[in-house]
């Protein structure tokens, strides 16, 4: 069995070969082949008609011979001598170039005059059929010599007036009775020769006509089809190369299909120029945009990026084309974030916001991102276009500004504002849960002014930084250490189980502060006084707790410093001490207090 794929490839190769021909060659060939096929069909039909006419003429000739035969036999009577009848028939056959001529009797004649001799009896089914039906019989057949012949069998019908005679005078039959028949064979060689001559002549004329026809078709197609197509092709090639200046309009003549195609082509050229000009401008904007631009397909596969994307991410276009933007994921956003991201993008067709991504070198950056879906006429998403800008520096500036607003610039600890805010949040949570204790500590360094006065402010700043470091080491990550100003610090301890735990933390701080500090190459010893208040035992709000812890701290100051004291209500009822300290219910310390310390 043959290989169907091989046959298919063969067919395709043939079509590929034919497609390499110029269009005018193919059109001329198609038209000529169609014309030739039509001409061959027409000539074949004409030949058949010519042959049919010749056969009809042979039939008419057979009818004449029949009439001649019947007239002669009637004149000499069909029942005459056999020899005379044969001579007569031979004369008719020879004079008319008939290959075979025979007269045979029907049943009524046989009954009346006998069967006659052998040649006058029917010996074929066709002859008997004519005698039975009285209908003429015609047949074209091929003889032993291989040539076509026409066999005609015509019945002899009894008539009252046949050539001036009454058939019933001799034959005792009714009018219309079949008396016999005449059978003859006529050669169709001359008719076939005539048809062949006609066919050869027609083919010759058709072949001669094909030459001017081919020239006419070639000129018509070349002038009206090929040249416009060639000009259109050149114009399209110039458009594809972006050569807007070289493109020209085609001359349109007439309103036929070629003219309409030329006019449509000119419109396409105008639109192409407009689109290419817009594309050129868009490309310039795309490449020179300070914002990164990413174009993906509907499956989020990256198709196009600009230079700003390359500079921001560190990835070249070749490295990311075909990948998804997931190559930039930083891991800072969880799956819930991306589910919401895609939900908004599908429902609204756009998403705007900030997101954290990762550069090729591994560094994480923040970007302001805007994504829009590009849909076709059926409402199906074809592309996504993402525009982003690196806002890492801006966010860092914002964080620095926010940090400076809520933190101490020297130690980096939360300032009074942030401490009070956290204290309010912890107290609100404690009220909701109705469980746990919150402790507030107020710390003041002992004799800190002496360090500033004897060693300078730089040494004092270094001392404050070291104190802040030690305080952070003494508490949990959930606790808050803040600098209230000067040498004053506060601690917030949420969710404390018992007073003993608070005391342990305070003692840890006292022990840490007793360790010498190296300032200016020399060891300096420093201590602190700690006042403590607790929620909900001592107060319900943050400001009051802070005042109470401050009052308890002054109790330590008045008692010799370097210790801790838990707030008791009678501290706020005592008058100011004679040593110059202020009363503990005042919000801050005066200049006299600083001097005394």
pLDDT in tens, 70-115: 776 765 554 456 667 777 777 787 777 687 788 888 888 877 777 7
Residues 323 and 193 placed together within one structural domain of the fold: no
Distance between CA 290 and CA 281 in Å, rounded?
A: 15
Phi, psi of 293 (to 5 degrees): -130, 135
Residues 421 and 447 placed together within one structural domain of the fold: yes
Q: What percent of the chain is predicted at pLDDT more than 90?
A: 32
Nearest by Cα to 321 from 307, 346, 302: 302
Residues 276 and 296 placed together within one structural domain of the fold: no
The predicted model gives 351-378 an average pLDDT of 91
Residues 489 and 364 placed together within one structural domain of the fold: no
Residues spanned by the domain of 346: 289-392
Q: Which residues share a beta bridge with 181?
A: 104, 155
Domain end (from 196, 211, 233): 233
Residue 3 domain-assigned (yes or no): no
Q: How confident is the model at residue 212 (pLDDT cuts 50, 70, 90)?
A: confident
The answer for residues whose C-beta is within 8 angstroms of residue 389's C-beta and 6 or more apart is 290, 291, 292, 367, 368
The answer for residues whose C-beta is within 8 angstroms of residue 329's C-beta and 6 or more apart is 357, 358
Contact in structure between 218 and 28 (CB atoms under 8 Å): yes
More confident residue, 436 or 456: 456
Distance between CA 119 and CA 217 in Å, rounded?
A: 65
- List pLDDT tens digits, range 291-331: 889 999 999 999 999 998 999 999 999 999 999 999 999 88
Domain end (from 333, 363, 392): 392
- List pLDDT tens digits, range 503-516: 999 999 999 999 99
Residue 13 domain-assigned (yes or no): no
Question: What's residue 196's pLDDT?
Answer: 76
Residue 11 domain-assigned (yes or no): no
Residue 401 domain-assigned (yes or no): no
Question: How is residue 279 annotated by DSSP?
Answer: H
What tokens does 342 get? 């895609």
The CB density around residue 66, as the number of other CB atoms within 10 Å, is 22
What CATH number has the domain bearing residue 527? 3.30.70.270
Q: Is the pLDDT of residue 38 over 60?
A: yes
Phi, psi of 374 (to 5 degrees): -105, 120
The predicted model gives 498-507 an average pLDDT of 94
Q: Identify the H or E element spanning 42.
A: helix 23-76
Q: How confident is the model at residue 19 (pLDDT cuts 50, 70, 90)?
A: low
Sign of CA dihedral 167, 171, 177, 178: negative
Residue 538 domain-assigned (yes or no): yes
What tokens does 445 get? 């360094």
Residues 301 and 363 placed together within one structural domain of the fold: yes
Number of residues that make up the chain: 597
Nearest by Cα to 187 from 129, 148, 142: 148
Q: What percent of the chain is predicted at pLDDT more than 70?
A: 83
Question: What's residue 204's pLDDT?
Answer: 78
Contact in structure between 530 and 480 (CB atoms under 8 Å): no
Domain end (from 207, 233, 259): 233
Question: What's residue 581's pLDDT?
Answer: 36
Question: Which ranges of 289-367 does DSSP label H, i.e. alpha helix?
Answer: 307-313, 317-320, 335-348
- List pLDDT tens digits, range 193-210: 777 777 787 777 777 777
Nearest by Cα to 437 from 540, 546, 508: 540
Residues 378 and 439 placed together within one structural domain of the fold: no
Residue 103 domain-assigned (yes or no): yes
Residues 33 and 166 placed together within one structural domain of the fold: yes
Contact in structure between 34 and 220 (CB atoms under 8 Å): no
Q: Is the pLDDT of residue 2 over 80?
A: no
Residues 515 and 588 placed together within one structural domain of the fold: yes
Residues 52 and 76 placed together within one structural domain of the fold: yes
Residues 215 and 111 placed together within one structural domain of the fold: yes
Where is average pLDDT lowest: 48-52, 153-157, 293-297? 48-52
Q: How confident is the model at residue 55 (pLDDT cuts 50, 70, 90)?
A: confident
Q: Tell me how far the alpha carbon of residue 553 is from its chain's centroid.
A: 75
Residues 307 and 281 placed together within one structural domain of the fold: no
Phi, psi of 179 (to 5 degrees): -90, -25
What CATH number has the domain bearing residue 193? 3.30.450.20
Q: Tell me how far the alpha carbon of residue 60 is from its chain's centroid.
A: 76
- List pLDDT tens digits, range 367-414: 999 999 998 888 889 999 999 988 888 888 877 887 888 899 899 999
The predicted model gives 479-496 an average pLDDT of 94
**Total count of domains within the chain:** 4
Q: Is the pTM of this model over 0.85?
A: no
Q: Is the pLDDT of residue 41 over 70?
A: yes
Average per-residue pLDDT for the chain: 80
Q: Is the pLDDT of residue 17 over 60?
A: no
Angle at 282 between CA 279 and CA 287, to 5 degrees: 120
Question: What's residue 267's pLDDT?
Answer: 76
Phi, psi of 371 (to 5 degrees): -125, 135
More confident residue, 145 or 416: 416
Residue 586 domain-assigned (yes or no): yes
Contact in structure between 496 and 437 (CB atoms under 8 Å): yes
Contact in structure between 474 and 512 (CB atoms under 8 Å): yes
Residue 470 domain-assigned (yes or no): yes
Burial letters for 250-287: b for 16+ Cβ neighbours within 10 Å, e otherwise?
Answer: bebeeeeebbebbeebbeebeebeeebeeeeeeeeebe
Question: What's residue 425's pLDDT?
Answer: 94
Question: What's residue 151's pLDDT?
Answer: 87
- List pLDDT tens digits, range 541-589: 999 999 999 999 999 999 999 999 999 988 876 544 433 333 333 333 3
Q: Is the pLDDT of residue 142 over 70?
A: yes
Where is average pLDDT lowest: 337-341, 355-359, 568-572? 568-572
Phi, psi of 430 (to 5 degrees): -65, -35
Q: Is the pLDDT of residue 224 over 90?
A: no
The predicted model gives 476-494 an average pLDDT of 94
Residues 191 and 93 placed together within one structural domain of the fold: yes
Question: What's residue 15's pLDDT?
Answer: 45
More confident residue, 341 or 31: 341
Q: How confident is the model at residue 3 (pLDDT cuts 50, 70, 90)?
A: low
Distance between CA 72 and CA 160 in Å, rounded?
A: 18
């Amino acid at each position: 069995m043959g290989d169907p794929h091989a046959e298919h490839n063969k067919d395709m190769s043939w079509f590929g070969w034919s497609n390499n021909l110029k269009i005018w060659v193919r059109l001329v060939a198609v038209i000529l082949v169609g014309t030739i096929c039509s001409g061959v069909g027409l000539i074949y039909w004409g030949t058949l008609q010519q042959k049919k006419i010749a056969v009809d003429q042979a039939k008419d000739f057979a009818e004449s011979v029949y009439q001649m035969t019947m007239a002669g036999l009637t004149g000499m009577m069909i029942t005459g001598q056999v020899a005379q009848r044969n001579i007569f028939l031979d004369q008719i056959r020879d004079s008319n170039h008939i290959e075979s001529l025979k007269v045979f009797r029907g049943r009524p004649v046989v009954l009346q005059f006998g069967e006659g001799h052998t040649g006058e009896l029917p010996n074929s089914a066709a002859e008997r059929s004519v005698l039975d039906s009285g209908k003429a019989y015609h047949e074209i057949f091929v003889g032993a010599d291989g040539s076509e012949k026409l066999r005609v069998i015509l019945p002899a019908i009894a008539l009252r007036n046949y050539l001036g005679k009454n058939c019933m005078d001799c034959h005792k039959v009714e009018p219309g009775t079949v008396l016999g028949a005449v059978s003859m064979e006529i050669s169709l060689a001359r008719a076939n020769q005539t048809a062949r001559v006609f066919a050869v002549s027609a083919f010759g004329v058709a072949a001669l006509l094909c030459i001017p026809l081919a020239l006419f078709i070639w000129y018509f197609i070349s002038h009206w089809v090929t040249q416009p197509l060639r000009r259109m092709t050149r114009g399209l090639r110039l458009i594809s190369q972006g050569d807007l200046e070289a493109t020209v309009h085609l001359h349109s003549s007439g309103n036929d299909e070629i003219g309409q195609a030329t006019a449509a082509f000119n419109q396409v050229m105008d639109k192409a120029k407009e689109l290419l000009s817009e594309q050129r401008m868009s490309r310039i904007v795309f490449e020179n945009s300070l914002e990164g631009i990413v174009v993906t397909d509907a499956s989020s596969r990256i198709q196009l990026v600009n230079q700003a994307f390359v500079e921001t991410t560190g990835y070249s276009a070749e490295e990311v084309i075909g990948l998804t933007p997931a190559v930039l994921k930083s891991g800072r956003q969880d799956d819930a974030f991306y589910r919401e991201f895609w939900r908004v993008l599908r429902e609204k067709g756009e998403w705007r916001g900030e997101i954290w991504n990762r550069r090729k070198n591994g560094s994480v950056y923040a970007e302001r991102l805007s994504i829009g879906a590009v849909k076709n006429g059926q409402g199906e998403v074809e592309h996504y276009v993402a525009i982003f800008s690196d806002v890492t520096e801006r966010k860092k500036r914002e964080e620095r500004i926010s940090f400076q607003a809520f933190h101490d610039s020297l130690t980096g600890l939360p300032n009074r504002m942030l401490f009070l805010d956290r204290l309010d949040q912890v107290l609100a949570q404690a009220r909701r849960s109705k469980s746990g204790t919150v402790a507030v500590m107020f710390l003041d360094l002992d004799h800190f002014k002496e360090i500033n006065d004897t060693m300078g402010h730089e040494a004092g700043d270094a001392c404050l930084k070291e104190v802040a470091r030690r305080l952070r080491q003494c508490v949990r990550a959930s606790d808050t250490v803040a600098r209230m100003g000067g040498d004053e610090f506060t601690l917030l301890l949420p969710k404390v189980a018992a007073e003993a735990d608070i005391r342990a933390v305070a003692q840890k701080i006292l022990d840490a502060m007793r360790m010498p500090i190296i300032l200016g190459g020399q060891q300096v010893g420093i201590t602190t006084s700690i006042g403590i208040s607790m929620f909900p035992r001592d107060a319900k709000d943050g400001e009051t707790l802070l005042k109470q812890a401050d009052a308890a701290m002054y109790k330590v100051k008045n008692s010799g410093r370097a210790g801790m004291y838990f707030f008791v209500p009678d501290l706020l009822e005592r008058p100011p001490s004679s040593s110059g300290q202020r009363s503990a219910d005042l919000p801050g310390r005066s200049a006299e207090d600083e001097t005394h310390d």
